[in-house]
Structure 1
Amino acid sequence: MTVNTQTDTGNAPAGSDFNGYYRLTRVLPVIAVMAAIYGIAALVDYHINAVLLTIVVMIALCLLRVPVPIALISAALLGALHAGMDTNTAIGALNDNLLVGAQVGMTYVMIGAFAVAIARSGILDLFAQKIAARVGSDAQSTSKGLKWFLFAIFIFCSLISQNLVPVHIAFIPVMIPPLLAVFNRLRIDRRAVACILACSISFSYLLLPTGFGAIYLNEILMANVNDVGSAYDLSMTADMAPKAMFLPVMGIVAGMLVAVFITYRKPRDYVTDPSAENHINLAKPVSINPLQLLATVTALAVALICQLQFDSLLVGAMIGFVILAAAGIFRWRAQDDVFTEGMRMMAQIAVIITIASGFAGVLDATGEIAPLVQASAELIGDNKAVGALIMLLVGLFITIGFGDSFASVPILAPIYIPLALALGFSPMATIALLGASAALGDAGSPASTITLGATSGLNADGQHDHVKDSVIPTFIHANFGMVVFAWVAAMIL
């Protein structure tokens, strides 16, 4: 018997008087906690850090199932007002930083259109059907073998999406939806898949210095270390980054293994839509025209070349879309429909990325990021072990708010580098602390492209909740292990 995993058994029937009371009891504890924090702070005359308050409120609202965009805007405005900014200034700080996020959001909209166009070629349908052909009446061992084969494919695609074919999360909404019915037959827990995608994407750009990895390790991490470290006789070369990040990244790998083999090992049942089942039904085999297959491969190759040539994923995806349209993968008159379908698929990601930029801008405008780190430094004293742990946890908190490790490095570097050197950490340990602190929270933030990408594919049939099934599992498994392994790296390097 299949069970809809999105059903909350504790909910009262919709529309009942008790249902409203039940929902109120879910909100009241958060309000009570926030009131208690304010009360205690008032009694001891302690100012709550606006950045800390903003991120806590954002996380609490997300856990209460408030839509992520509303949670981001509400928490940002509350934090800004708490920091002493007036409403107009707070809204201005939010608006001024939307432009960067809008540029990235538009890129993902175009990626969505390109992804739908690729899906129209039938390549992924054929792949799903081939996998489905081996599921069902086969022996259990065969089904398990298919499960591990799929997991290996996801790891491989995640790796090349960051380093060899740098399309970031664009492959997820293309590859995953046709396979959901297969997942259901294999009784795969989609939370395990979310952890595989998030952890694989994270460790690929944090360890391998090509593609997005080259941007993070060389253009951002190394550049900031050398810029800030020049005043402290600290210099970093390109070969130092992978060595410094190796142990922290192994923490992510350990977390992924725990998710797959322990936490989400047991089978989980989902409801399979009849149309999805027919989609992979062997009675209706998928066939691909060789010319269309050639056109699809050509579009992918040209899109990659254009992306690398012009350093623009937007341009690459657009040209790939035009090639597929001209090759007849879909009717020329259906271009608007295909583009609109892709836009709908990526709209949530585009909107959240845009608002997350404004959220990060408000955090920066409060001027309380530096005081938060300085307060942590005062708490540390001369204890290296405590210092490493607090630096990692503060970095985790800040990056959850920003939702982007690439944006966190320039914020943390001016404070973390002199602090780490003053505590007696070696150059390699300092690099590991900065690189890991900025990366913590990227996988597991409600506004992270990594978790949003995982949800965009796994929730294609409405049975995978963003916060409950993507954010919380990836936060736990990608970050807990990384904190432990990064702490060990700081102490032994």
Structure 2
Amino acid sequence: MEWIVIVSVLVMTILCLLRVNVIIAIIAASIVAGLMAGLSLVDSIEMMVSGMGAASNTALSYILLGAFAVAISYTGITTILVNFLIRKLTGKKTILVLALAGVACLSQNAVPVHIAFIPILIPPLLKLFDEMRLDRRAVASALTFGLKAPYIMIPAGFGLLFQGIIEEGMIQNGTFITENEVSLAMLIPGSGMIVGLFIAIFITYRKDRDAIPGAGGAESSITIATVENVPFNKQHLFTLIAILGALAVQLVTKNLIAGALTGLILMFLFLVIPFKKGDKVMTEGIGMMGTIAFVMLVASGYGSILNKTGAVEALVELSSGYLNNNQVLIAFILLLVGLLITMGIGSSFGTIPIIAALYVPICIAAGFSPMATAALIGTAGALGDAGSPASDSTLGPTAGLNADGKHHHIWDTCVPTFLHYNIPLFIFGWAAALIL
């Protein structure tokens, strides 16, 4: 029975590494787990579907945030930001890279639009990068930092989702923890990413580097538009009000759906987005974030199968017997497993329901505190997001930086982000599990 978890996770990981669609890989792993537990094919599928409801709140949040991102980009307010960066930071490489990291951070909480800003913001800056001989690997590292570190450490926007999934997963699997405790537990692992960012910007990629034409293969489908002077107007003011309204509601209610709905409603009420564009905004939002939403739904169903078949309990007994409750070794192995799973799936959010189902019983048996368990689950879920070829945290930066065909996805985005973020995140997360 204990081999069910191991075999099904291996099936999922191998399929993902072979570039099989993530949703198909998780469904296949769920069916394998069910069949190994003696269920029929139909029963395995029905059990998986019945367990998908737990992630419905998060999935709907993603879709609404995607629509909000599309609405914001429709107003052209990002063009003003591009012009500001070009005007103020030309020739100031380090400050420009740090500024891009800051903008990316805002995309996770204050203006939760995730990767939607990159195809709009980065391509117009590529010519400036080349003139400054700026190493695009530094920019990729900065963007990935901004897409990842805030949701790990800050309980707002996507961080509210990420930490909420950890809290929910722990409670569902037998360990009570509060939202504040999860936030505090994730500060130590997240600090490792700050160290990685500084190493990337100030040491590894500080020197001049010329972008190589054709390095990224075929050019991206993104069109590099000419940046025009766009004056700040009434539409942009209303857009900012909508963003602030969404943030305020999100912080007060601690509900991302309520925040996203507030932002969308305000943009329609202020006529920033014409009512006739409503269907288009929602359709594009679903197209942008729908895949991630469904990954999370299916992952929740997979975690349900692992629990209901008794495979997790069997794995706990096996692990406890072999490792003799050695917390140092157990924490190391759990983080390593998390790295492998997330590298395959490419979604931190999608792996948390799976990881929580696996880790909580093991951590209870080994005597880890709730905060240490949260640090392990959060770190294991975040590990592999940076560096994974299938992750939004790497695909997003490459989509912008390779608009002119001069940026290689693996060597210029995945490898740099893997080295600078997964290694310190692993070390700091391991330390957090032993300290807390």
TM-score tier after normalising by the smaller chain length: 0.7 to 0.9
1:267 to partner: Cα distance? 5.6
Selected match of 1:57 from 11, 31, 35: 11
Structure 2 CA distance for partners of 1:336 and 1:85, relative to 1, 3 Å: same
Larger radius of gyration: 1
Q: What one-letter code is carried by the residue in structure 2 that aligns with 1:286? A: V
- Alignment-mate amino acid for residue 77 of structure 2: I
Change (3 A) 1:359 1:250: same
Change in 2 beyond 3 A, CA 1:470/1:111: farther
Q: 2:276 aligns with which of 317, 330, 333?
A: 333
Deviation, structure 1 residue 91: 0.8
Equivalence for 2:193: 252
Contact map agreement 1:396 1:438 (CA 8 A) in 2: no
Instruction: State the shift of 1:296 in Å.
Output: 0.9
| Residues 475/81 of structure 1: CA separation in 2 closer, same or farther (3 Å cut) | farther
Q: Is 1:149 matched with 2:90?
A: no
Against the structure 1 CA distance between its residues 111 and 469, is the aligned structure 2 distance closer, same or farther, given a 3 Å change threshold?
A: farther
Partner SS state of residue 182, structure 1: helix
Q: Deviations over 1:259-308 (max 9, x none)?
A: 5566766665557679733332xxx322332x212211221122223334
Q: Equivalent of 1:286, from 207, 230, 235?
A: 230
For the residues of structure 1 that align with 2:25 and 2:194, how far apart are their CA atoms? Answer: 30
CA distance in structure 1 between the aligned counterparts of 2:70 and 2:428, rounded to whole angstroms: 39
Question: What whole-Å deviation, never above 9, does each CA across 1:58-116 have from its counterpart, x for those lacking one?
Answer: 22222222222222222332333233332112111221133344443332222222211
1:60-459 correspondence to structure 2 within 5 Å:
60-133=14-87, 141-155=91-105, 157=106, 161-162=108-109, 165=110, 170-174=113-117, 177-183=120-126, 185-186=128-129, 195-197=141-143, 199-200=145-146, 203-207=149-153, 246-260=187-201, 268-269=211-212, 276-280=223-227, 284-289=228-233, 291-381=234-324, 383=326, 385-394=328-337, 403-404=348-349, 407=353, 408-409=355-356, 412-420=359-367, 431-432=371-372, 434-445=374-385, 451-452=391-392, 455-456=395-396, 458-459=398-399
Q: TM-score when scaled to structure 1?
A: 0.67
Match of 2:367, SS state, is helix
Q: State how far apart, in whole Å, the 1-side matches of 2:219 and 2:84 are.
A: 18
RMSD of equivalent CA atoms: 4.4
* TM-fit CA distance, 1:206: 4.7
2: CA distance between counterparts of 1:276 and 1:253? 32
The whole-number CA distance in structure 2 between the counterparts of 1:472 and 1:308 is: 35
Alpha-carbon contact 1:222-1:237 (below 8 Å) kept: no
Counterpart residue identity of residue 288, structure 1: F
Q: TM-score, normalised by structure 2?
A: 0.75
Whichever residue aligns with residue 444 of structure 1, its letter is G
List per-residue Cα deviations over 1:354-412 (Å, max 9, x = no partner).
Answer: 33333333333443223223322222226554344234435556777794476445753
Whichever residue aligns with residue 100 of structure 2, its letter is L
CA 1:298–1:354: 2 relative to 1, 3 Å: same
Question: Alignment partner of 1:441: what SS?
Answer: helix
SS of corresponding position for 1:279: coil
Flag the 1:258–1:54 CA change in 2: closer, same or farther, 3 A. Answer: farther
Q: Which residue of 2 aligns with 1:481?
A: 424
Contact 1:198 1:474 in 2 (8 A): yes
2:140–2:397 Cα contact (<8 Å) kept? no
Distance 1:273 1:239 in 2: 42
Whether the 8 Å CA contact 2:342–2:384 is kept in 1: the answer is no
Does the CA-based 8 Å contact 1:118-1:296 persist in structure 2?
Answer: yes
Q: What amino acid is aligned across from residue 38 of structure 2 in structure 1? A: G
d(CA) in 1 for partners of 2:281, 2:175: 50
Distance 1:313 1:201, change over 3 A: same
- Deviation, structure 1 residue 229: 7.8
CA contact (8 A) 2:372 2:433 kept: yes
Deviates more, 1:118-127 or 1:145-154: 145-154
Secondary structure of 1:276's aligned partner: coil
For residues 219 and 106 of structure 1, what CA distance do their matches in structure 2 show? 14
Q: Would the aligned equivalents of 2:59 and 2:293 in 1 still touch at CA under 8 Å?
A: yes
In structure 2, distance between residues paired with 1:273 and 1:414: 45
Counterparts of 2:180 and 2:294, CA distance in 1? 37
The aligned counterpart of 1:33 is none
Q: Does structure 1 retain, via aligned residues, the 8 Å contact 2:66–2:289?
A: yes
> 2: distance between equivalents of 1:119 and 1:194?
21
1:415 and 1:249 map into 2 onto residues whose CA distance is 23
> Residues 367 and 116 (structure 1 numbering): CA distance in 2 closer, same or farther, change over 3 Å?
same
Q: Where does structure 1 lack aligned partners over 5 or more consecutive residues? A: 1-46, 231-235, 422-426
CA drift of 1:124 comes to 0.4
Q: What is the count of residue pairs matched by the alignment?
A: 417
Between the aligned partners of 2:138 and 2:316, the Cα distance in structure 1 is 34
Is 191-200 or 295-304 further displaced after alignment?
191-200
